Amino acid sequence: MAGLTVPTWDPETALLIGTILLEAIVLYVGYGGLERLFGSYLIQFLVGGDADAR
């Protein structure tokens, strides 16, 4: 275990890393969509009523 090793194919580990990759892509797309949908509303909410007036 302590020496240098060449990676070998391991379906279980590949599934593990694939899960993280999939989660990252889903989060990028999902949060991006939420930002487009609700980003401006959130900014208006944070800025306060003054922004609505504009």
Specify whether the CB–CB gap between 44 and 52 falls below 8 A: yes
State the CB neighbour count (10 A cutoff) for residue 44. Answer: 14
Does position 48 interact with another protein (CB under 8 A)? The reply is: yes
Does position 2 interact with another protein (CB under 8 A)? The reply is: yes
The separation between CA 9 and the C-alpha centre of its own chain, rounded to angstroms, equals 27
CB of 41 to another protein, least distance (A): 13
Residue that the structure tokens 């959130």 belong to:
42
Q: Where do contacts with another protein occur on this chain (CB under 8 A)?
A: 1-5, 7-8, 10, 13-17, 19-21, 23-25, 27-28, 31-32, 35, 43, 46-48, 50-51, 53-54
